[in-house]
Structure 1
Amino acid sequence: MKLIVIMPAMNVIHTSGIDLAHLRVLDVLLRTCSTVQAARELGLTQSAVSHALRRLREALGDPLFVRVGRKLAPTERVLALRTPLSEALAAVGRVFQSSEAFTPGTLKASFRVIAADYAELVVLPRLLAELASEAPGVDLVTTVVGDAVEDTIQRGEADLALGAFFAERGGLLLRPLFRDPFAVAIAAEHAPGRLTLERYLAARHVLVAPRALPGGVVDNRLASMGRTRRVVLRTPCFQTALAIAARTDLIVTAPRSLIAEYAKHAPLVMFTPPLELPEVRFGALFSASRQDDVAHKWLRERVAALFGGSRRRAKE
């Protein structure tokens, strides 16, 4: 089979003996940088992946990957192919998907999801129950990438990101899911009858920063009021913060749905914050190249369908 591969800022290259399977191998290698992991994900032997890589190197006249320790580091030339390759494979997938009915029950796929423990605790239990019923062949792999969420989605290294405060980028789409107000979690034994602003500012706080960025909604709001709070601990993990709050006099300001879920299993009392804070706009971020992918769209719809319903009310 003869393919025409178009590379950015380069001439058209005619290759022979390269088929879609080879391009799929290249796509997975760009994400995993490992022939072992690529073979496992594609259901091939490592030698088959190495053979495909050798054919690609011959066809494109470039090493494509060089060995650095136990990993393969992509060359500049293959990095330039990342986006057009992902878009081309997505387009080919849409051609075949449109010719037959999509049946979740027979789908065999593994989706990579970026999700802090906020999303994991609120979303995953119900989502996994849905998948077990409707699509038992679908697996999920979750990861946390700090402040590299948008870059990771753009590079095609993850299928979906669940969370809030995403930056707008070209080629990325955001599916709004729900809005979640902030609440304050305090251990039952230390909970006041009423949480005033002065009590709030006098307390010791845990700051949760899943993306490892400085500042935050609470501190930005306090700064606008000319006030500050005492942050004793900064952590990327909501569950760590809530576990500490349940056992100490430290308090946590976090999304209400998360506190409500965690308070089912820990001695926490939930209060309305004594200052005005914006709601968390929770959503699903994904690449525009996956917008029409039938399986990806189905997963997005299943995630969206999980939200809504009652939320535990905060104590005034």
Structure 2
Amino acid sequence: MKLIVVMSAMNLVHTSGIDLGHLRVLDVLLRTHSTVRAARELGLTQSAISHALRRLRAALGDPLFVRVGRKLAPTERVLALRGPLAEALAAVGRVFQAGEGFAPATLKASFRIIAADYAELVVLPRLLTALACEAPGIDVVTQIVGDAVEDVVQRGEADLALGASFSERGGLMLRPLLRDPFVVAIAAEHAPGRLTLERYLAARHVLVAPRALPGGVVDNHLASLGRARRVVLRTPCFQTALAIAARTDLLVTAPRSLVTEYVRHAPLVTFAPPLELPEVRFGLLYAASRQDDVAHKWLRERVAALFPTKPQRRR
């Protein structure tokens, strides 16, 4: 199947007069919706991008993009090509890399990672330190996409996602990295001697919802017990929640690894939750089409190396 994808791409190159550089331009335009941003990412002039787009339009017999305001909106034809195009470019890359030794130190690449601030704080400091030593030519761009994480990764609009509660589906690969228990963070000046369930329920809370979905682990569990807590703030950011907790009497229930990092710089104390909660299953999500991509595989392994070989409970 991969060989067929490669041959289809090569056949398009041979019969249309366009080259693989044009296909790369098309791939980046599908992501950026801008000739200016595509030129910046590819290190080309804007006129070179426009010239490539004209050649692609002629070869495929379709406008491919139409201008809507300041952005280029893709046509249905080019949207249908997005998946096969990503497969073809990845497969062609594997063909040319197969006989070469991979050298991270010489790699020049930019990787797009979907990550809430939880993942950013737990992963990025250590990852960027490692990249500076081993692959200084790699740049990282993080983004938050709400509840569209799986769709964005599946479409190839992000290289991988870091986080929890991913939905497993065809075309996606999930690699577990860490099992992280919840803790409750409270400002030191408001901390009780002992956090009982009744005190927990009587307190005011911040609910963190990175994917902007209703409910959550804590509230679903409380609902199963016929109980509820008073949530006075919903936010997508854990660090915002912890910053507010440090300055008010609000409680935050969050993954321990994140809170451990944050309490070094804030007047917070932590308690074990007064109810049984499942651990956060933190992992790495990526498209199956990138499974054998040499550079992508190296980055995945580098991220995984920051965690124990098997996801275990931190003690």
Query: Could you state the TM-score of these two structures normalised by the residue count of structure 1?
Result: 0.94
Shift of the alpha carbon at 1:263? Answer: 0.3
Shift of the alpha carbon at 1:15? Answer: 3.4
Q: Does 1:182 align with 2:174?
A: no
Residue of structure 1 equivalent to 2:152: 152
Counterpart Cα distance in 2 of 1:312 and 1:101: 36
Counterpart Cα distance in 2 of 1:233 and 1:307: 32
Listed as ranges, the gaps of 5+ residues in structure 1 are 7-11
Residue of structure 2 equivalent to 1:42: 42
Distance 1:89 1:165, change over 3 A: same
**Would you say how many aligned residue pairs link Structure 1 and Structure 2?**
306
One-letter code aligned to 1:94: R
After the TM superposition, which segments of 4 or more aligned residues of structure 1 sit over 3 Å from their partners? 3-6, 12-15, 308-313
Distance 1:81 1:205, change over 3 A: same
| Contact 1:4–1:14 (8 Å) recurs in 2 | no
Counterpart Cα distance in 2 of 1:224 and 1:113: 35
* Greater per-residue helix proportion: 2
Residue 15 of structure 2: SS of its match in structure 1? strand
CA displacement 1:62-96 (0-9 Å, x = unmatched): 00000000000000000000000100110001111
Residue of structure 1 equivalent to 2:172: 172
Listed as ranges, the gaps of 5+ residues in structure 2 are 1-5
Residue 223 of structure 1: SS of its match in structure 2? helix
Counterpart Cα distance in 2 of 1:243 and 1:116: 16
One-letter code aligned to 1:68: V
| Contact 2:181–2:255 (8 Å) recurs in 1 | yes
One-letter code aligned to 2:61: G
Residue of structure 2 equivalent to 1:282: 282
Counterpart Cα distance in 1 of 2:228 and 2:281: 24
Counterpart Cα distance in 2 of 1:243 and 1:188: 13
| Contact 1:5–1:15 (8 Å) recurs in 2 | no
Alignment of structure 1 residues 38-77 onto 2, 5 Å: 38-77=38-77
Residue of structure 1 equivalent to 2:81: 81
Counterpart Cα distance in 2 of 1:174 and 1:164: 10
| Contact 1:4–1:15 (8 Å) recurs in 2 | no
Residue of structure 2 equivalent to 1:262: 262
| Contact 1:102–1:294 (8 Å) recurs in 2 | yes
RMSD (CA atoms): 1.8
| Contact 1:162–1:285 (8 Å) recurs in 2 | yes
One-letter code aligned to 2:232: V
Alignment of structure 1 residues 288-307 onto 2, 5 Å: 288-307=288-307
Residue of structure 1 equivalent to 2:237: 237
Residue of structure 1 equivalent to 2:3: none
Residue of structure 1 equivalent to 2:123: 123
Residue of structure 1 equivalent to 2:252: 252
Counterpart Cα distance in 2 of 1:104 and 1:193: 51
Residue of structure 1 equivalent to 2:95: 95
One-letter code aligned to 1:266: A
One-letter code aligned to 2:120: E
Query: Could you state the TM-score of these two structures normalised by the residue count of structure 2?
Result: 0.94
Distance 1:59 1:120, change over 3 A: same
Counterpart Cα distance in 1 of 2:7 and 2:219: 54
Counterpart Cα distance in 1 of 2:145 and 2:51: 32
Shift of the alpha carbon at 1:308? Answer: 4.1
Residue of structure 2 equivalent to 1:9: none
| Contact 1:260–1:312 (8 Å) recurs in 2 | no
Q: Among all aligned residue pairs of Structure 1 and Structure 2, give the percentage whose two residues are the same amino acid.
A: 84
